[in-house]
Structure 1
Amino acid sequence: MTDLPAATPSAPEADHRLVADALTAADAAAHAAGCHVWPISALADLEAACRLFEGIWKPAGENALATTELLRAMDKAGSYVAAAFDGGAGDELVGACIGFFGPPPDGTLHSHIAGVSARMRGRSVGFALKTHQRGWALQRGATQVSWTFDPLVRRNAYFNIGKLAARPAQYLPNFYGPMNDGINGADDTDRLLVAWQLAEPEAAAACHGRHRITDAEAERDGGAAVALGATADGRPLALPVSGPRSLVAVPEDIESLRRGDPRSAAAWRAAVREVLGGLLADGWQVTGFDRAGWYLLEDKDAQ
């Protein structure tokens, strides 16, 4: 069992207001993205969701990310199985997200897979899916959603930390083992586990479009030290950690590096594992991500 921040339940009246506000935010996000988001249970929709996942990750061999039978069982058991449909294209399924509940005392939903078709990227369909998931989870008494993502992928780090205001809780080296798919290649599958505290004002603000902004340049000017930077030729460069705030860089496009320069990609993986993973293990907290490619961390013992 991984360590996550404890979820705090609210009073019934506050819960009602919180859920209503979350559903309003979800409706607004879907409208802005030009899509509809709702739970799915029909076999045709479940099959389409599986095809979407396969098309995004392109797993090697018979290593399916999800099967129709699995999604059918998850839905029947009360887990989260939802999809986004393009309102302007005959309600084509263009995004999907699945999650399951943790042990009953935790009040936690673990979001396992979320993906959006390539043609819909840039329209905030993923944001609409996550805001829907928040409202759905709050309706069922869950106050926290956790999930994992590759810490080297800039757009995912910004989406999860900056746009959704989720907080990294743990660094997980080679979490899934070899996947050998179109995204991870042969690289180790290191992941950051994040916890999204659904009832926190910061999460509510994020779902209404008020995102967490981090400016790495301003942080450096204010005294934050670079714990991991890059050399002139784009290689990772670890530096001594000093002061209560640190910045950790990630490469511009790790997926292209894996295809074109796997040795450099492996070097970045090792460096981020050592520096970012080491800081988290020592009790530092990620408090932001600059979409230019920088994690901002603070030493909680120095606060």
Structure 2
Amino acid sequence: MTIMGTSMQETAAAADAAGAAAAEAGIEVRILSRVEEFAQVTALFRSIWTAEGDRAPVNVETLRALSKAGSYVGGAFEGDELVGACFGFFAAPERRALHSHIAGVSARMRGRNVGFALKVHQRSWALEQGLDEISWTFDPLISRNAYFNLVKLSATPTGYLRNFYGQMSDALNGADDTDRMLVTWYLHDPAVTAACRGSAPDAPTALAEPLLSREDDTIPVVHETSARLVRVSLPRDIESLRRTDPELATRWRLAVRATLGDLMDDGARVLSFDRSGAYTIDRGEVQ
């Protein structure tokens, strides 16, 4: 038996994975539906992304509308405290897809895999709706986000978006351009299924030539190479650089844009992201 192309066995397995991920994190993840809960989400997101007194990146009214329309608004609770939240909205009907717009976790819960539990819950919910994929964007210069999305979740990079949100000037993005990597989570992919069970292995480090590296562990350096497989390294901590040395942070963004971004525009495939903080990219047949 299937529900809109998704088998009952697959939805049951996804729900089991979501329950296991939440239990391991010591939280409960559930769909939110009340105004009071949406107010908690806006307060949490304000604490993550904005300076004191600034507006949250989403308001209660928008969350209420998304929930009423049937889109995904999920929250992670430790006891009665909201410690993480995620929301998204449906894509065009023929795509059977969700765009996951914002996910955030309380700073004190870092290292507890709350974000992972939220995403696994979101996948379980999406499969129940008969969806095939979820897409979202992330800052391609933040190593922990790249590792989380490409390795821990096995999402597939599908685009590089330059200055996608314009100038945000929030606590995390600073005043720099908001380049983003678009990823797609193919919900029926065996690699995604394994990742949601917590068994996705680290991608092996391929033999690749450096295209962008860190000189003295700080400065971006672009190399000339004709290799098919290339590596694009990231700064150790772009978020700190944006606060302490905005000029150097901008140099890094421009270097990543000119290497990773241009390669993806030309059809190159991002194969992996490793713990050293580098993307491995297959450029295809180099002319």
Residue in 1 that maps onto 2:193: 204
Give the equivalent residue in structure 2 for 1:225.
209
Aligned to 1:24: 16
Q: Distance in 1 between matches of 2:35 and 2:136?
A: 25
The residue correspondences of 1:1-303 to structure 2 (distance < 5 A) are: 15-58=7-50, 63-86=55-78, 90-216=79-205, 219=206, 222=207, 224-232=208-216, 234-301=218-285
TM-score with structure 2 setting the length: 0.95
Q: Which amino acid aligns with 1:287?
A: L
Q: Residue 114 of structure 1 aligns to which amino acid in structure 2?
A: A
* CA distance in 2: counterparts of 1:299 and 1:260, whole angstroms: 34
CA–CA distance in structure 2, aligned partners of residues 286 and 33 of structure 1:
30
Secondary structure in structure 1 of the residue aligned to 2:7: helix
- Give the CA deviation at 1:17: 1.6
Paired with 2:5 and 2:139, the residues of 1 have a C-alpha distance of 38
Give the Å deviation of 1:91.
Answer: 2.5
Paired residues of 1:110 and 1:147 also in contact (CA < 8 A): yes
The letter for the 2-side match of 1:128 is A
SS in 2 for 1:177: coil
User: Could you report, residue by residue, the CA deviation over 1:230-281 in whole angstroms, capped at 9, with x for unpaired residues?
Assistant: 1126111111242221111000100000111111100000000010001101
1:211, distance to aligned residue in structure 2 (A): 2.0
CA distance in 2, matches of 1:47, 1:276: 38
1:299 Cα deviation from its structure 2 partner = 3.0
State the number of aligned residues.
285
Is the Cα contact below 8 Å between 1:212 and 1:288 reproduced in 2?
no
Aligned-pair Cα RMSD in Å: 1.7
User: How far off its partner does 1:14 sit?
Assistant: 5.8
Corresponding residue for 1:3?
A: none
Shift of 1:297: 1.1
Q: Does structure 2 retain, via aligned residues, the 8 Å contact 1:107–1:141?
A: yes
State, as a whole percentage, how many aligned pairs show the same letter. 51
Deviation at 1:21, TM superposition (A): 1.1
Distance in 2 (CA, whole Å) between partners of 1:245 and 1:39 is 42
Distance 1:80 1:49 in 2: 13
* Aligned-partner SS, 1:189: coil
In structure 1, distance between residues paired with 2:199 and 2:140: 23
Task: Between 280-289 and 292-301, report the one with greater CA deviation.
Answer: 292-301
Offset of residue 39 of structure 1 = 0.3
Unpaired segments of 5 or more residues in structure 2? none
| SS across alignment from 1:228 | strand
Query: Which of structure 1's runs of 4+ aligned residues deviate more than 4 A?
Result: 10-14, 59-63
Deviations 1:131-164 (A, max 9, x none): 0000000100111000000000000000000100
